[in-house]
Amino acid sequence: MTKEKNNKPSKELPLGFVDRQEKELLVRDFIISNIKEIMIKYGFQYLETPSFEYSDSIGKFLPDKDRPDEGVFSFKDENKWMSLRYDLTAPLARYVAKNYLEIPKPFKRYQLGTVWRNEKPGPGRFREFLQFDADFVGTKSLQADAELCVMISEILEKCGLTKSEYVIKISSRKITEELFKKININENQQKLTTLRALDKIDRLGWSGVKELLGAGRKDKSGDYTKGANLKSKDIKVIEETLKKKSPDTEDLVEIFKIFKNYNFNNFEFDPSVIRGLEYYTGAIFEVNLKFDVTNNRGQVIQFGSIGGGGRYDNLVNNFGNFDAPATGISIGLDRLVYALMQKKEFKVKQSKPVVICVFDKNSMKEYINVQLILRKAGISTEIYPGESKLKKQMEYANKIKSPAVILYGEDEIKSGKPTLRNLRNGKEQSIKINELANEIKKII
């Protein structure tokens, strides 16, 4: 690299975007195959919608209407603004509205797709990530809400999490609505500030939340956050509400009954679960991990939830007049991958190819013959992709973690018995071509 490097394209990635390597992708594939299997079992339809939508299809449901395009990546196509989707729920609402007459009602669909958020990234948190969504549209039945939780739990356990490693926290927007009535808050901004404060109880504890409900709070770095300015007697009422051990709203009482019928008990009633969204109208879920997650320096980090959801009875109605009450749940797959990879006992099998070394270009036909036989037997096999000294070829095989190499030089070709070298223990044996596949299977 010389002076010219200034003229060369940057090898840096845009903020919040990452290359994902095989190890991670295989874990992701493992999770996806579990999801698909369970979705079929639960009877959801598979759907894909495009990455881009017209901005007004997703933008006009933003909670803060005063800054409609903040947080999304957008560009102007001809004269219309389009944006990369920021979740899979808004596109679902658009899809349901567009296809309302054709789709079954209720409509159950699941979707796997990349979403983009123009926000500051954090550990295990990117500006481009894969999300899984499952929703019921067109039913008010609480059976749907309950089943979503049971289903998520089945997915997590299928992926290797034990009951003690995760919990689904549940609350209802109805609880906070009643609370607001009780303490007489009507102003929307104050409601939002209050909800956001409550949402932080995990991290800040009640004392921090109390500060945010009152005048405000100074964080570790010295930054100051303005509070909701509630009266201390109202804060007292909120504190009492948060202490409740069991729900007194009808929806949650019903949902918990259904859980019992499913024998599902890995949930927790938690009135501090808020999920910040304005569009939720009933039950709210949040999927939390119960073990520490660390960054690549080994420090424990604030990881937050790996997914959540809830009931949103009015969202589809934003596109017109539809009878489409809905409930859904989503998981951030990359966050689940990140967390899963931290579990020591978690392993995903990677099959690496057996490498056939190249001694002499004129013997290519012989190498190909061995390759065809092994591939036919279902063994991942490659002829060394290059022209190097044997030492280089061995180093290559070692580097890609190949289980074995096949040495098929002049002498071996003459006798029809290639040498199989086990790269884990260095042992070599000379084997007839037609017995090669079976021998290799013993090694793998």
> Which of 42, 71, 190, 346 touches RNA by CB under 7 A?
71
> Which of 29, 64, 239, 248 touches RNA by CB under 7 A?
64
> Which of 98, 106, 121, 380 touches RNA by CB under 7 A?
121
DSSP 9: P
CB of 101 to RNA, least distance (A): 25
Binding segment for RNA among 58-66, 137-145, 173-181, 256-264 (CB under 7 A)? 58-66
| Ranges within 358-377 binding RNA (CB under 7 A) | 359
Distance, in Å, from the CA atom of 222 to the CA atom of 110, rounded to the nearest integer, reads 43
Asked if 70 touches RNA (CB under 7 A), the answer is yes
CB of 365 to RNA, least distance (A): 16
> Which of 365, 399, 434, 442 touches RNA by CB under 7 A?
399
CA 164 to each of CA 148, 267, 294: distance values in angstroms, whole numbers, following the listed order: 19, 11, 18
Q: Are 92 and 109 in contact (CB under 8 A)?
A: yes
Asked if 421 touches RNA (CB under 7 A), the answer is yes
Distance from the Cα of residue 81 to its chain's centroid: 28
> Which of 101, 102, 184, 222 touches RNA by CB under 7 A?
222
Distance, in Å, from the CA atom of 27 to the CA atom of 30, rounded to the nearest integer, reads 5
> Which of 38, 183, 242, 277 touches RNA by CB under 7 A?
277
Tokens of 60: 């006009």
Crossing angle of helices 364-376 and 433-443, in 10° steps, is 50
CB of 207 to RNA, least distance (A): 13
Asked if 392 touches RNA (CB under 7 A), the answer is yes
CB of 248 to RNA, least distance (A): 25
CA 212 to each of CA 49, 199, 226, 227, 345: distance values in angstroms, whole numbers, following the listed order: 40, 11, 7, 4, 40
Give phi and psi for 415, each to the nearest 5: -85, -10
Asked if 443 touches RNA (CB under 7 A), the answer is no
Asked if 90 touches RNA (CB under 7 A), the answer is yes
Give me the amino acid identity at 84: L
> Which of 24, 87, 165, 254 touches RNA by CB under 7 A?
87
CB of 70 to RNA, least distance (A): 6
Count other Cβ atoms within 10 Å, centred on residue 247.
Answer: 21
Give phi and psi for 191, each to the nearest 5: -60, -50
> Which of 9, 43, 298, 426 touches RNA by CB under 7 A?
426
CB of 390 to RNA, least distance (A): 4
Asked if 333 touches RNA (CB under 7 A), the answer is no
Give phi and psi for 137, each to the nearest 5: -120, 135
Give phi and psi for 109, each to the nearest 5: -135, 150
CB of 326 to RNA, least distance (A): 13
